[in-house]
């Protein structure tokens, strides 16, 4: 699979410990995560509430106490359905295990997608839950030696997957058809990511996927549960949230124009639609929560 479309191209952790941790509440600017992909693996756990996440062409409702495993290269995005939902993510690069492939090559089979790890783990799967809770607790505290425990926990996770047969074997024909659709979707996401501040049209988005506008609308809706233009505006609002938080010296009008809106009132209306509040109130709420 090509790795060039709408990839979050940034380092995770550092060279020696390529692992990153995120704690997400409703005041996080990416609380409802836009569709994206990266070449790292991700383990997500829900502490409170629940979140619905699409991974490639499958949808999962992840509730309090449950876990989702997201393989590298998977297109994923989600929406929290309760205002007080809290979730955490650990994102790790397979470079962490370059010296741990072993003679059996089982890790390599995971990395080559010959073995497809189950994605959703409920609270009833206590062995997996205890391990993942240890992993998150350790990376949050970061006491001396935490890197060894986190790495060991991830390796143990792979071991438990094998021991308990929490996987399926790759079905090549299905995977090829599925990856063709994902490849088209990644091309569209790449265009949106790089040109969201431009007046993109439905025809331009459809052309990127080599589809007619009519068929493209159906294809995109089936893959993301959003219309192409609705998703474009949603992504623009997500980018506006990041700018509002990280560029407080820039006016709301300028941020609106920087994010592809040519009318301030329409920007505020769209912002309220997706965030349930105005840009001004959003910033004030974030500042109160972070004591800025």
What does the pLDDT look like over 252-275, one tens digit per residue? Answer: 999 999 999 999 999 999 999 988
Q: Which residues neighbour 61 within 8 Å (Cβ) at sequence distance 6 or greater?
A: 50, 51, 52
What mean pLDDT do residues 188-208 have?
Answer: 93
pLDDT of residue 216 exceeding 60, the answer is yes
Kindly report, residue by residue over 168-177, the tens digit of the pLDDT: 987 655 456 6
pTM: 0.75
Q: How far apart are CA 18 and CA 98, in angstroms?
A: 12
Kindly report, residue by residue over 131-162, the tens digit of the pLDDT: 999 999 999 999 999 999 999 999 999 999 99
Task: Please report how the helices 146-163 and 126-141 are oriented relative to each other, as an axis angle in degrees rounded to 10.
Answer: 160
What mean pLDDT do residues 180-196 have?
Answer: 89
Instruction: Give yes or no for a contact between 86 and 30, defined as CB atoms under 8 angstroms apart.
Output: no
For the chain, give the percent of residues with pLDDT over 90. Answer: 61
pLDDT of residue 105 exceeding 80, the answer is no
Largest separation between any pair of C-alpha atoms in the chain: 62
Q: Is 60 helix (H, G, I), strand (E, B) or coil?
A: strand
DSSP H helices, the chain, are 106-111, 126-141, 146-163, 172-195, 202-208, 213-224, 228-246, 252-258, 264-275, 279-290
Band of the pLDDT at 180, cuts 50, 70, 90?
Answer: confident
> Could you count the other beta carbons within 10 Å of the beta carbon of residue 269?
12
Kindly tell me the sign of the dihedral angle through the C-alpha atoms of 208, 211, 216, 219.
negative
List, in order of start, the domains of the chain with CATH numbers: 19-169 (2.60.120.280), 173-290 (1.10.10.60)
Mean of pLDDT over the chain: 87
């Amino acid at each position: 699979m090509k790795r060039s479309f709408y990839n979050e191209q940034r380092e995770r952790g550092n060279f020696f410990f390529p692992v990153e941790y995120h704690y997400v509440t409703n005041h996080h600017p990416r609380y409802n995560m836009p569709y994206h992909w990266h070449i790292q693996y991700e383990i997500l756990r829900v502490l409170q509430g629940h979140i619905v996440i699409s991974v490639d062409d499958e949808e999962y409702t992840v509730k309090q106490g449950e876990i989702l495993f997201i393989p590298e290269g998977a297109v994923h995005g989600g929406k929290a359905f309760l205002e007080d939902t809290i979730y955490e993510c650990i994102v790790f690069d397979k470079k962490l295990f370059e010296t741990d492939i072993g003679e059996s090559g089982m890790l390599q089979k995971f990395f080559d997608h010959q073995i497809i790890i189950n994605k959703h783990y409920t609270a009833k799967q206590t062995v997996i839950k205890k391990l993942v809770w240890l992993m998150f607790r350790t990376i949050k505290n970061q006491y001396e030696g935490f890197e060894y425990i986190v790495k060991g926990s991830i390796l143990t996770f792979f071991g438990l997957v094998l021991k308990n047969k929490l996987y399926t074997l790759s079905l090549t024909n299905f995977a090829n058809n599925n990856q063709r659709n994902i490849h088209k979707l990644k091309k569209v996401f790449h265009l949106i990511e790089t040109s969201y501040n431009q007046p993109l049209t439905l025809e331009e988005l459809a052309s990127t996927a080599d589809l007619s506008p009519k068929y493209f609308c159906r294809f995109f809706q089936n893959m993301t549960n959003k219309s192409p233009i609705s998703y474009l505006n949603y992504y623009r609002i997500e980018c506006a949230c990041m700018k509002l938080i990280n560029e407080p010296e820039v006016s709301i009008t300028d941020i609106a124009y920087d994010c592809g809106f040519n009318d301030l009132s329409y920007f505020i209306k769209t912002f309220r639609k997706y965030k349930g509040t105005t840009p001004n109130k959003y910033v004030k709420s974030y500042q109160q929560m972070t004591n800025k």
